[in-house]
A and B are shown apart, each in its own frame.
Chain A
Amino acid sequence: MRLDHQTIADIIAPDARVLDLGCGDGELLSRLAAEKNVTGQGVEISEEAVYRCVEKGVSVFHSDIASGLEGFPDGSFDFAVLNQSLQEVRNIGFVLDEALRVARRAVIGLPNFAHVRARLTLFFRGRAPVTPSLPYDWSDSPNVRFMSMADFRSFCRRRGYRILKSEYLGVHGRVRLWPNLFALNGIFLIEKG
């Protein structure tokens, strides 16, 4: 069981309606349906991943995230999930506004660009960092936005989103000490202020 999925599953309320933006092969939604009886809907851009979703019985729209949000009436979902997908989106403010329009709350999972390993690589070796949560070489990374845990918190303050919960994850478990230095990933539950 992936630690990030476990953390998100702990946040999502039972019987909730969940929109997973960038749902990949549907593993999280399939689990949420089985364990928490959620009604899930995925949005995913990869055709192969769409097939895998359907094989798991997960309903999914084949589309990019921004167009995937279009058309849903306000408050269609209890939760929008953007796990490891927001850093691949160009217009982050628009997508989060839209996510918080169609859902009451959003769960955002992000890799930490300011992890100690990233900092050391950059400082001592002068190379673009590669870490367990940012595993790509600079030349073929799908990521277009690089943020730290502190960056995201400050972004939420600026945009007027309330952070209701934040969980920081390392390789094996929660990180409690200096998350902006030691967390590989952060998972935030946010709502409109």
Chain B
Amino acid sequence: MLSMSPSDTRPIVEPRFFTFAEPPDAGLPLESGRTLGPVTLAYETYGRLNAKKNNAVLVCHAFSGNAHVSGFHRPEDKAPGWWDDMVGPGRAIDTDRFFVVCSNVLGGCSGSTGPSSVNPATGKPYGLDFPVVTIRDMVEAQRRLVDHLGIPKLLAVIGGSMGGMQALQWAASFPDRVRSVIPIATTLKHSPQQIALDEVGRQAVMADPDWNRGGYYGRKPPEKGLALARMIGHITYMSDRSMEDKFSRKLKDGKVSFSFATDFEVEGYLRYRGDNFVKRFDANSYLYITKAMDYFDLSGDRLFGNGRSVRTRFLVIAFHSDWLYPLYQSREIVHLLKMRGVDATYCEIQSTYGHDAFLLEIEEESRLIRHFLAKTQDIAGREDG
């Protein structure tokens, strides 16, 4: 619950946890055929669920994100949640109007059950005993949380990148539980290029001797491998142009060293990003979550199934210069929407930021999201009487 602390007008939010699939209940059935239990999801909520329970918006985070989408945990925190300029009082996803929920994904490492969690069968962290999970499994877990929070039908599910995959999966798995979805900078399926980039990242982790086949808990984690994977990732999140604008060929110390030290600012930036990442992210989660993205495929008739009429509204957003999730992948989503006569809006936002644009082009996204949500709320209000 989001509240204002008396000493400070900065919204303070409290992390929460929801555990299900505990004995004697059955475990969570996974797409792989295995089951997992108990499952804990870390989540945060903002705003209030209204009396008609029709103002709930689920925000899905991207690959390395977490449940802390907005506000501050403590007044002294330096940085707010990861999408604070989009979610909050008066923002496009207005917490004065909407009940906003964000949870850490299944398989993650920010409070939800993942490979670094303790396996109740052994009393030790799962490591590679953790079952492979998919985007569908992540969404199934979210659906349990949405049930727990007493939300019969979400007003919207919104997310960028892997968050967009979850939004699409919601439309596929639970069409009657979601009034609208907003997939941003995402795809119906990972292309060979996207799978290849993920595989390079996984190989970087697994090639680190400290990885130890996933059994590094309580010892030195594979920091070098994970940092290298993250460096590669960051290159794919930017564009040639945004790197030129940000770094050019600027040197860290004004002159080249004629050695393999970090001469260029871009090298220093990538190392800094890599080194920071290993402090907050679990290497095995990196493997599991990238695999979940690679398995994701809602192309063909998987998004809507056959025959069924589609009542979910769509707002699809993509960015010029995003070469990791290029425009054509969002156009493929739009093509499916046209084929099924879905009430939908699509916008290609001019940006030079590459894939990162979905976190940076807030003004343009806000114009779309604010009004799309208002219209969806109008429709909900009319239908719910």
Contact = CB atoms under 8 A, between A and B. Distances in A.
Interface in A39-60: 39, 41, 47, 50-51, 53-55, 57, 59-60
Given A55-B367, A61-B346, 20 more contacts: A41-B343, A41-B344, A47-B348, A51-B347, A53-B345, A54-B315, A54-B347, A57-B374, A59-B343, A60-B345, A61-B338, A62-B346, A62-B347, A62-B348, A70-B335, A71-B335, A71-B338, A71-B339, A73-B341, A76-B341
Given A57-B375, A76-B341, A63 B346 contact: yes
Interface in A127-149: none
B154 to A, nearest CB: 19
Contacts of A76: 338, 341
Interface in B360-374: 364, 367-368, 371-372, 374
Contact of A57 (B335, B364, B378): B378
A33 to B, nearest CB: 11
A123 interface: no
Q: State which size class the interface on A falls in.
A: 10 to 19
Given A54-B371, A55-B367, A61 B339 contact: no
B328 to A, nearest CB: 11
A155 interface: no
A94 interface: no
Contacts of A47: 347-350
Interface of A: 39, 41, 47, 50-51, 53-55, 57, 59-63, 70-73, 76
A51 B365 CA distance: 9
B314 to A, nearest CB: 9
Contacts of A61: 334, 338, 344-346
Contacts of B347: 47, 50-51, 54, 62
Contact of B371 (A39, A57, A71, A72): A57
Interface in B42-78: none
Nearest to B314: A59
A51 B367 contact: yes
A63 B343 CA distance: 16
A41 B350 CA distance: 22
A150 B114 CA distance: 71
A54 B372 contact: yes
Given A70-B335, A71-B339, A72-B338, A59 B345 contact: yes
Given A61-B334, A71-B335, A71-B339, A54 B367 contact: yes
A158 B338 CA distance: 31
Interface residues of B, number: 23
Contacts of B338: 61, 70-72, 76
A51 B345 CA distance: 10
Contacts of A55: 367, 371
A143 B339 CA distance: 30
Contacts of B341: 73, 76
Max chain B C-beta neighbours (<10 A), residue from A39, A55, A62, A63: A62
A54 B368 contact: yes
Contacts of B378: 57
Given A57-B375, A57-B378, A51 B368 contact: yes
7 contacts: A41-B344, A59-B344, A62-B347, A63-B346, A71-B334, A71-B338, A76-B341
A60 B313 CA distance: 12
A18 to B, nearest CB: 13
Interface hub of A39, A53, A54, A70 (most chain B Cβ within 10 A): A54
Nearest to B340: A73
Contacts of B339: 71-73
A55 B366 CA distance: 11
B273 to A, nearest CB: 31
Nearest to B348: A62
A59 B344 CA distance: 6
Interface string B247-285: 000000000000000000000000000000000000000
Contact of A51 (B344, B364, B374): B364
Given A70-B335, A73-B339, A54 B345 contact: yes
A175 to B, nearest CB: 37
B171 to A, nearest CB: 16
Which residue, A55, A60, A70, has most C-beta atoms of chain B within 10 A? A55
Nearest to A39: B343
A63 B313 CA distance: 19
A57 B364 CA distance: 16
Nearest to A50: B347
Nearest to B378: A57
A47 B345 CA distance: 12
Nearest to B313: A59
Contacts of B350: 47
Closest 9 CB pairs of A and B: A71-B338, A57-B375, A71-B335, A61-B346, A62-B347, A51-B367, A54-B371, A59-B345, A55-B371
A61 B372 CA distance: 13
Contacts of B343: 39, 41, 59
